[in-house]
Homo-oligomer: A and B are copies of this chain.
């Protein structure tokens, strides 16, 4: 990673390109039923994503070697719950039923967590860090395609991430203490990204409106697997850079 640019591989920031164009406010955009359905899908996926992240982080806190670390993971979990609350409230605000809107995403997210249950504290830390970073990348990718009101919400949720920074120090220290740990965690990081992509592909295959939104905004009609693939590639590349920066070849 000698060619790494400054800032690459570091935790992502809660910003979007300054030149992101406005496509209008929620009231205007949501007049189109396809757009409304797509954004509700997105909010449902994000909301359940945050709620399940809360649950799993809280559970993984049991592996913490001490009270400071336990509290740090609990702090992340608590932040995820606040995100969930914002997203849930927004779904209700636009007149939809949060449970109904979240339900299609319960199984893919539960499958992801079931298949990536950490077996120890370090795996839990890497998962917390990777999950936080992928979520932030995804939020940023999607923010530019949204109406002003939904974008504001997404940026508000994103602005409160970054609690995973403590994980970086802990993982680096563990690898320094025992370099063999690096090999194991590199495999683990790859597996996390693989399972995340696998479940994301599943969602994309089942939710046409959401997929269209993800790749081109309300304007794009028709499902474009290539564009979805490109977005996943960008997120995977960012993950790869972050893992390398962490000392984990992925």
- Chain A contact residues, CB within 8 Å of chain B: 48, 51, 54-55, 58-59, 61-62, 66-68, 70-71, 74-75, 77-78, 81-82, 84-85, 88, 98-99, 102-103, 106
Contacts and interface: CB of A to CB of B under 8 A. Distances in A.
Contacts of A85: 75
Query: Which residue, of A51, A54, A67, A98, has the highest number of chain B Cβ atoms within 10 A?
Result: A67
Contact of A99 (B54, B66, B81, B106): B66
A106 B71 CA distance: 13
Given A71-B88, A78-B78, A82-B78, A55 B62 contact: yes
14 contacts: A51-B74, A54-B58, A54-B77, A55-B58, A55-B70, A66-B99, A67-B99, A71-B84, A74-B81, A75-B85, A77-B78, A77-B81, A78-B78, A78-B82
A85 B74 CA distance: 10
Contacts of A102: 67
Contacts of A106: 67
A59 B77 CA distance: 12
Q: Chain A at the B interface: mostly helix, strand, loop or mixed? A: helix
Contacts of A82: 78
A74 B68 CA distance: 21
Contacts of A55: 58, 61-62, 70, 74
Contact of A51 (B48, B54, B70): B70
Given A59-B59, A84-B71, A88-B71, A78 B54 contact: yes
Query: Which residue, of A48, A78, A84, A85, has the highest number of chain B Cβ atoms within 10 A?
Result: A78
A82 B74 CA distance: 10
A183 B119 CA distance: 39
A77 to B, nearest CB: 7
Contact of A78 (B70, B81, B88): B81
Contacts of A98: 67-68
B58 A99 contact: no
A23 to B, nearest CB: 30
